[in-house]
Amino acid sequence: MPGLPLIIDCDPGVDDAIALLLAIAAKEALEVLAITTAAGNVGGDLTARNACRVPEIANRPDIPVFAGMDRPLSQEPVGADHFHGVSGLGDLPAGQKRSPNRRSVLVNSCWSGFGKSGWPEANTATRPLRHDRGLD
């Protein structure tokens, strides 16, 4: 029996990469349906790239990744590259084989559809939810 259906919203630096790896590995408890990203620890292009890289490392390239906002809506970006490294994943080589999907009406519908038949019963965010109204 699959685990709890889950969409994970994150800004993958080192900390979120570990959280994603743990969630993907917990197959009996969690069913990771998708990963969505926004800028945070590093810029949006890098968080999206990092989110694509993690399922590759976990041998789960079937998990879709949706890139969201590349900057906060109401404040200047505050990066954490002093901790997470310039790429957000320390010194891990890029190695990206795929590009993220753009977050779209489909994802917006998914976020508003929790609790309805056919949509996940749970979601989790590992970042501040300051980007969510800016879905493109």
What confidence tens digit (pLDDT) does each residue in 32-63 have? 988 988 888 888 888 888 999 999 999 999 99
Over the stretch 116-133, which tens digit does the pLDDT of each residue have? 545 555 566 666 554 454
Over the stretch 75-102, which tens digit does the pLDDT of each residue have? 787 778 778 887 888 877 666 566 666 6
Residue-level pLDDT at 21: 96
C-alpha–C-alpha distance, residues 89 and 53, integer Å: 10
Whether pTM > 0.85 for this model: the answer is no
The sheet with strand 101-102 has its strands ordered as: 101-102, 65-67, 30-37, 4-10, 122-125
